[in-house]
Amino acid sequence: MNATLNDEGKKIWGNIFPDGIPVLDIVSRTAEIEELGTDIKVYMVAWDALTPVQRGQILNLLATKFQCPEQAIEKDILAKGLPLQAKYVSGVTIPTRMLL
């Protein structure tokens, strides 16, 4: 399943994910994000479905943004997952073979 980025999402993530971002579920979840508060809608990124280049680009971007070592970011992602804010998503596509 791929989350299709909206215009705002493309500005941030489009150079890493020109064809959308692999996500674990078609439905968003509600999360509490330390800097943003509670009830934030997110999709969980399918980290294992990303290429090594995409993973490296994400780690670099987040390490720069939060002034934190890439290893610490990766450790958090592996332990808790990588949330993508739903406000950056226009929809989620699923393969036809998954329809009943």
Task: Of 41, 47, 43, 31, give the one whose Cα is nearest residue 79.
Answer: 47
pTM for this model (two decimals) = 0.87
Tokens standing for 12?
């941030």
Residue 51's pLDDT is 96
Residue whose token pair is 């290893």: 71
* 23 in Cβ contact with 44 (< 8 Å): yes
Q: Where are the domains of the chain?
A: 2-89
pLDDT digits (tens, 9 = 90+) for 31-70: 888 777 778 999 999 999 999 999 999 999 999 999 999 9
pLDDT, tens digit, for every residue of 66-100?
999 999 999 999 999 999 999 999 999 887 777 77
Query: How far, in Å, CA of 39 to CA of 70, rounded?
Result: 27
> Which 3 state secondary structure label does DSSP give 24?
coil
